[in-house]
């Protein structure tokens, strides 16, 4: 197991190197540049040249890339062109919000998707099966931003049940320790602050969970249907085992491998930022900030954020691979 973890972590080095090279070339090929975002259309050629020289963008691209790699080895991601703050500081300020939103969305998707997919498979061809399949299709087809606006209009603006924007009510004056607002409220025993942060996560979490929920339902249903047709399930039923034992030990456990893979991929994707959801609810995460950085050609932010997100994505999938051995002991033998 340790050898497997070390091997996967070592594979991260060439992955990050290749990603950094492709990103560096792609960003430099984008039309315009940070000088255009800073000066606008009225900047003179002399002013643009001065900014490019100040940012080191007038040097050959290989020299720029070499300087970036040296900083990256020292874990120095540079300074944001737009905010003049360190990229690491910007990331640590915004990433906790994205993590909280991702956890909320995945808890909703997993908590509803796996039981619903299992029940749909057990009642194949019945009303519940048709409703779950049809509902999952609708969940995949509806754009996230459209669902977000609907939830915001109904439950926030019309009914007033949930807040419409932000991560927490600024008037609460909560203590900040980790920038995870819910965790900070629990650590400092500021229960109102923790509850308010959770309340702000409900609507964006529901909107963001729509597509993962639909995917998990469909994959769970298909996987359970495949396992139900296996000989070992019929043998367990013929031996007189109770339905709970058959369901828990034989069906669900063997059907979870493809579901776990999907959950890992979905979680990694959500951790890379939910631009539309964060924009609709004015949620301070990395998605909206990355979108602004693209329009402003903020190269250090784009490079730094995407590199960190790549590391997080690989680590999430490593955790999923390790979970295989817990779900199916045969994987450990292999």
Of 18, 90, 137, nearest in space to 296 by CA: 90
Looking at every residue in the chain, the average pLDDT score rounds to 80
Cα separation, 107 vs 212, in Å, equals: 10
Question: pLDDT of 62-118, one tens digit each?
Answer: 777 787 788 878 877 778 877 888 888 888 888 888 888 899 999 999 999 888 888
Average pLDDT over residues 169-190: 83
Question: For residues 106 and 194, what is the distance between their CA atoms, to the nearest angstrom?
Answer: 19
Residue 37 has pLDDT above 60, yes or no: no
Beta bridge partners of 86: 79
pLDDT band at 251 (very low <50, low <70, confident <90, very high): confident
Please give the biggest Cα pair distance in the chain. Answer: 85
DSSP collapsed to 3 states, 124-178? CCCHHHHHHHHHHHHHHHCCHHHHHHHHHHHHHHHCCCCCCCCCCCHHHCCCCCC
- Distance (Å, whole) CA 207 – CA 276: 10
Token digits of residue 331: 């994987």
Confidence grade of residue 136 (pLDDT, cut at 50, 70, 90): confident
Model confidence at 245: pLDDT above 80: no
**CB-CB neighbours of 23 under 10 Å:** 18
First to last CA, the chain: 11
Please count the CA atoms within 13 angstroms of the CA of 149 that sit on its side-chain side: 5
- pLDDT number for residue 107: 93
C-alpha span between 123 and 159 (Å, rounded): 36
Mean pLDDT (whole number) for 5-22:
78
β-bridge mates for residue 79, sequence order: 86
Answer for the pair 185, 195: CB distance below 8 angstroms, yes or no: yes
DSSP string, 187-213: HTT-HHHHHHHHHHHHHHHHHHHHHHH
Task: Supply the pLDDT for residue 94.
Answer: 86
- Residue 251 is classified by DSSP as I
- Is the pLDDT at 232 greater than 50? The verdict is yes
CATH superfamily label, 87-327: MetI-like (1.10.3720.10)
Residue 273 pLDDT: 66
pLDDT per residue as tens digits for the range 180-212:
888 888 888 888 888 888 898 999 888 888 889
Please report the pLDDT score of residue 38 as a whole number: 59
Structure tokens at 300: 């250090």
Average pLDDT over residues 263-267: 86
Tell me, what's the pLDDT at 129?
80
Distance CA 201, CA 42 (A): 42
Residue 43: the pLDDT is 64
Kindly state the average pLDDT of the residues 217-234: 79
pTM attached to this predicted model: 0.80
* Residue 33 pLDDT: 62
DSSP for 66-77? HHHHHHHHTT--
**CA distances (Å), origin 277, targets 97, 141, 145, 185:** 12, 16, 6, 24
pLDDT recorded at residue 333: 47
Residue 163: pLDDT above 70? yes
């Amino acid at each position: 197991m340790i050898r497997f973890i070390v091997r996967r972590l070592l594979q991260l080095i060439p992955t990050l190197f290749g990603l950094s090279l492709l990103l560096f070339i792609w960003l430099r090929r984008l039309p315009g540049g940070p000088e255009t975002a800073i000066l606008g259309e009225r900047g003179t050629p002399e002013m643009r040249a001065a900014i490019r020289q100040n940012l080191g963008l007038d040097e050959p691209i290989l020299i720029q890339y070499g300087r970036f790699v040296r900083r990256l080895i020292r874990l120095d991601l540079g300074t944001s062109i737009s905010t003049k703050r360190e990229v690491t500081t910007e990331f640590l300020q915004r990433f906790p919000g994205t993590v909280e939103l991702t956890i909320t969305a995945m808890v909703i998707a997993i908590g509803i998707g796996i039981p619903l997919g299992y029940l749909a498979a057990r009642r194949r061809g019945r009303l519940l099966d048709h409703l779950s399949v049809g509902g999952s299709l609708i969940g995949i087809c509806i754009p996230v931003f459209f669902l977000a606006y609907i939830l915001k209009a109904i439950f926030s603006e019309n009914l007033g049940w949930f807040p419409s924007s932000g991560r927490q009510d600024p008037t609460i004056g909560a203590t900040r320790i980790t920038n995870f607002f819910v965790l900070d409220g629990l650590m400092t025993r500021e229960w109102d602050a923790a509850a308010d942060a959770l309340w702000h996560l409900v609507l964006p979490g529901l909107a963001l969970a729509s597509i993962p929920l639909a995917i998990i339902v469909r994959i769970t249903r298909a996987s359970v249907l495949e396992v139900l047709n296996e000989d070992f399930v019929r043998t367990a039923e013929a031996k007189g085992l109770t339905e709970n034992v058959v369901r828990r030990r034989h069906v669900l456990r063997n059907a979870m491998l493809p579901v776990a893979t999907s959950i890992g991929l979905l979680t990694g994707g959500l951790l890379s930022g939910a631009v539309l959801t964060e924009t609709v609810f004015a949620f301070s995460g990395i998605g909206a900030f990355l979108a602004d950085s693209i329009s402003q050609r903020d190269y250090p932010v784009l490079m730094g954020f995407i590199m960190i997100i790549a590391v997080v994505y690989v680590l999430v999938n490593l955790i999923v691979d390790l979970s295989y051995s817990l779900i199916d002991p045969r994987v450990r033998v292999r």
